[in-house]
Amino acid sequence: MKDFKQIIAEEISKATNIDKKIILENVEVPKDTANGDYAFPCFTLAKELKKSPAMIATDLQIKILENLKSSNQSEVLEEVTAVNGFLNFKINKKIIAAEVVKEFDIKKEKFGSEEQEEQKNIVIDYSSPNIAKPFHIGHLRSTVIGGALYNVYKYLGYNVVGINHLGDWGTQFGKLIEGYKRWGSEYNIEENPIDELTKIYVRINALCKEDENVLEDCRNNFKKLEDGDEYCKKIWQKFRDLSLKEFDKVYNILGVKFDSLNGEAFYSDKMPEIIDILEKSGKLVDSEGAKVVNLDSENIPPCLIIKSNGSTTYATRDLAAILYRARTYDFDKALYVTSYEQALHFKQVFSTAKYLGIDEKYTKGLKHVPFGMVQLKTGKMSTREGNVIKLEDLLNEAIEKSRAIIESKNPNLENKEKVAKMVGVGAVIFNDLSNGRIKDEIFDWDIMLNFNGETGPYVQYICVRAKSVLEKAGYIPEVNSVDLSKLDDEDSKNIINTLYNFNQTLKNVTEKEEPSILARYLITLAEEFSSFYNNCHILGEDDNIQNTRLYLTYMVKTVLEKGLNLLGIEVPDKM
């Protein structure tokens, strides 16, 4: 498709002699498109041109309109106006429509996708629940944000590796082993592993608070595990296998898969190399019996590599993972989708990674993708205190609520169970992804399972409505039967504009690592189609109009379904 942003940037560059790349970065799609399809904020040039934004906008408007008289872009740029320091551009709607229809005809179900000229490797570290702990609603965010980013990057032609960096190592296993030694026979962990192990964990934590000696025994257990003690390893493996079996139930409901399940334990034999490299570089120093890397030059607290009792830390394992992933995946970008509470940890780890002797490409590609916490109305969740809501319970509740709504509104619907799962799970995923990822969420069943308004079920319903129109028509028109002149009503123009921006929307998702951009886009497209459906007769008009509007319906259905799939949401055929 023609890149209208490029055309606009070129015209501004010609009028100012400023590099087109600098201009292009600032051309934007305004929230309110009444003034134009694109806008350029002239305050970005105020310093360089030494004029007020309003004066720059007026001068540019005159120059560009003059240049357009002798330019082949005069048909494309229909209107150029200066408003309050912004330069606004309206694109010829027939040209946009022609571009969208032509591109869609070529790509169909792959509309909006790309093939990268030089394929880049993206590693995404997401979900990462802790073994032997409940897979609770706090893990939902990392799982669905990471899953959506994985899908979008792949759709845009990147080579993507999804890693579930399981929390299967660390001092908590020393505690669990101690608890299991003391009370293992009292709990049936084979039948109900996570719940029973959680009870052991809560109980041993309480005892550790009362008795410092018990806490020391727990620390020693983990040290034994690191040193390869057979008894500790055997119990640890049992905990891991049983936990993964439980986690898979949730992943199957969510439809989430990973390319690697290498968790923290995978790097246990790779940490000595990290310690050796840091020691040889002279960066590892003693600090009160522990070993740290000082990061004073970056105003960051030191990165703890070895504790005073000789055991390693999260940071040691994350550094080993960076080295392994650089060698194995040759990544251009490595994303870590975790809560913002870990921001300092990743600053320390990424700064320390510069001393591993790896190419600067890898350290530059490291990126923390933080998200807000999910909290209960009563406060923060804590496995130690035992006050968590399990994700499996949430998803099953959502499916049950969907089933009840279907029974009341459409009791004769075929495949009710399948539809209830798609709608319920879709509601939970969309609720999470439609909010900016950095926001904290107060968990509320009523909000989470609300099926009205700007929700996943609403977008699914509009997509199903478009499907039903096509089914009723009994055919999808050939592209050569589309008459672009019949797309001149406001509803059709809005849809065409939004469809044109699908690819750019997906690029914005990857540039900002923000799936909510796609979720909000889908709400906009669904609302626009709803308005089109109500205001424009699709069926029963003359063939020319019917074929054109049916093809527009087909495009909307395809993009809504594809967009929801990229977020990890399925769409039923009927609702």
Cα–Cα dist 571/395, whole Å:
17
CB 244 within 8 Å of CB 250: no
Cα–Cα dist 333/102, whole Å:
33
Distances (CA, A) of 102 to 2, 64, 105, 482: 11, 28, 5, 10
Long-range contacts of the stretch 70-78 (C-beta < 8 A, 24+): 71/11, 73/7, 73/10, 73/11, 76/2, 76/4, 76/7, 77/7, 77/8, 77/11
DSSP tag of 442: E
* Residue 438 CA from chain centroid, whole number: 11
Number of neighbours of residue 347 by Cβ within 10 angstroms: 17
Cα–Cα dist 159/463, whole Å:
29
3 state DSSP class of 386: coil
Element of type H or E holding 306? strand 300-306
* Residue 519 CA from chain centroid, whole number: 10
Q: Is 165 a catalytic residue?
A: no
Q: In what order do the strands lie in the sheet with 290-295?
A: 284-287, 290-295, 300-306
Cα–Cα dist 442/137, whole Å:
11
Written as six digits, the tokens of 346 are: 């990743």
Backbone φ and ψ for 536, nearest 5 degrees, come out as -120, 125
Q: Is 377 a catalytic residue?
A: no
For 264-281, give one letter per residue: b (16+ CB within 10 A) or e.
bbbbbeebeebbebbeee
Q: Look up tokens 């079996």; give the residue.
A: 245
Q: Is 345 a catalytic residue?
A: no
Could you say which of 2, 31, 139, 245 is catalytic? 139
Cα–Cα dist 123/160, whole Å:
6
Q: Look up tokens 């909010």; give the residue.
A: 435
Q: Is 71 exposed, middle or buried (0-12, 13-18, 19+ CB in 10 A)?
A: middle
Which amino acid makes up residue 21? K
Distances (CA, A) of 418 to 140, 392, 415: 21, 17, 5
Could you say which of 5, 136, 165, 557 is catalytic? 136
Q: Look up tokens 């290498």; give the residue.
A: 262
Q: Look up tokens 């590892």; give the residue.
A: 284
Could you say which of 5, 50, 102, 133 is catalytic? 133
Cα–Cα dist 310/357, whole Å:
24
Which amino acid makes up residue 160? V
Catalytic machinery residues = 133, 136, 139
